[in-house]
Amino acid sequence: MEALALERKAEQNRELRERLAQLKKERNAIILAHYYQRDEIQEVADFRGDSFLLAQKAAQTDAEVIVFCGVHFMGESAKILAPNKTVLIPDERAGCPMADMVNVDGLRKVKAQYPNAKVVTYINSSAEIKAETDICCTSSNAVKVINSVDADEIIWVPDKNLGNYVQQHTDKKMIIWEGYCNTHDMLTVKDVVEMKAKYPEAQFVVHPECRPEVVEMGDFVGSTTAILDYCKQSDCKQFIVGTEDGTGYQLRLDSPDKEFYFATKFLVCPNMKVNNLKKLVKCLETMQPQVYVPPAVADKARASLERMLQVK
């Protein structure tokens, strides 16, 4: 029975992929997928990447329709950078708890307390927060962005763990918001110690969204893309991975001869996994749900994103 179910699933996915190819051509659409998406989504994407790469692709594409397979704030960023494009997301329920941890009123109060500070916002945030921001950043370029800002004080939102990491690489005073990524914050020192005992030859690669005491244990610390690049280029053959388990798709693709063990089974973002192949096809068939950002908000938010894209 199990073999038959798998066979049916494979046939269904084949039919969905064929329908998707047809719809992409009809709609002049491009599919962008974050590294944390399900394998079946990453397999059909035109571009896989982290928030930074996908923001660049959204800004540069000639396609008329952008299907953003990620969470809602990512679709918003694509719409902000490509306002004349139609931006779809397979499931509008794909939110981000960390992005919800900061609100406009709260941020404005902090800005009033520190009038000389500039606001640097992690791209994992809503369009409304980006509109209150001087410049955005991703985990890939956070340190470069902070050090590029012409101010001695930085209001950092919303991720305290990434903020703590960045603070170690700048002389600027950082006022750090108390948000965090639910998924990365689950990883504990105990988890890593147990995995290191189980795989003593493995290197521990970790995302700076994890807790500071966990990040300190890393043999390599970096963004999702940096972790992928490091593992691909390293001579090491075993890795304990301290980031979302969707990265396993690209890790195995890049290095089929290496072994990857996720530091805990809980490194799964339920919001990222809401999207699937069936929903992806349906959103192109119906051209819904579309991402909408009010023009006044988009104009302000665009400036903060474009400043980020200009940082080299």
pTM, to two decimals: 0.94
52-81 pLDDT, tens per residue? 789 889 889 999 999 999 999 999 999 999
In this prediction, residue 52 carries a pLDDT of 77
On the question of pLDDT at 91 being above 80, the answer is: yes
175 labelled ligand-binding = no
In this prediction, residue 6 carries a pLDDT of 75
Q: Which band of pLDDT confidence, cut at 50, 70 and 90, is reported for residue 121?
A: very high
Q: Which CATH architecture has domain 2-95+272-293?
A: 3-Layer(aba) Sandwich (3.40)
Mean pLDDT taken over the chain: 95
On the question of pLDDT at 167 being above 90, the answer is: yes
On the question of pLDDT at 210 being above 80, the answer is: yes
On the question of pLDDT at 21 being above 70, the answer is: yes
Percent of the chain with pLDDT over 90: 92
CA distances from 192 to 96, 166, 200, 220 (A): 25, 22, 11, 14
169 labelled ligand-binding = no
The CATH superfamily label for domain 99-180+296-310 reads: NadA-like (3.40.50.10800)
On the question of pLDDT at 3 being above 80, the answer is: no
On the question of pLDDT at 1 being above 70, the answer is: no
Distance separating alpha carbons of residues 40 and 43, to the nearest angstrom:
5
- Top pLDDT among 30 and 309 is at 30
On the question of pLDDT at 289 being above 80, the answer is: yes
224 labelled ligand-binding = yes
34 labelled ligand-binding = yes
Structure tokens at 244: 């979302």
Distance separating alpha carbons of residues 125 and 95, to the nearest angstrom:
10
243 labelled ligand-binding = no
Domain(s) labelled CATH 3.40.50.10800 in the chain stretch across 2-95+272-293, 99-180+296-310, 187-262
- The fold of 187-262 is Rossmann fold (3.40.50)
In this prediction, residue 25 carries a pLDDT of 97
28 labelled ligand-binding = no
123-166 pLDDT, tens per residue? 999 999 999 999 999 998 999 999 999 999 999 999 999 999 99
72 labelled ligand-binding = no
139 labelled ligand-binding = yes
192-205 pLDDT, tens per residue? 999 999 999 999 99
96 labelled ligand-binding = yes
122 labelled ligand-binding = yes
Give the lowest-confidence range in 2-11, 160-169, 178-187, 247-256.
Answer: 2-11
In this prediction, residue 201 carries a pLDDT of 97
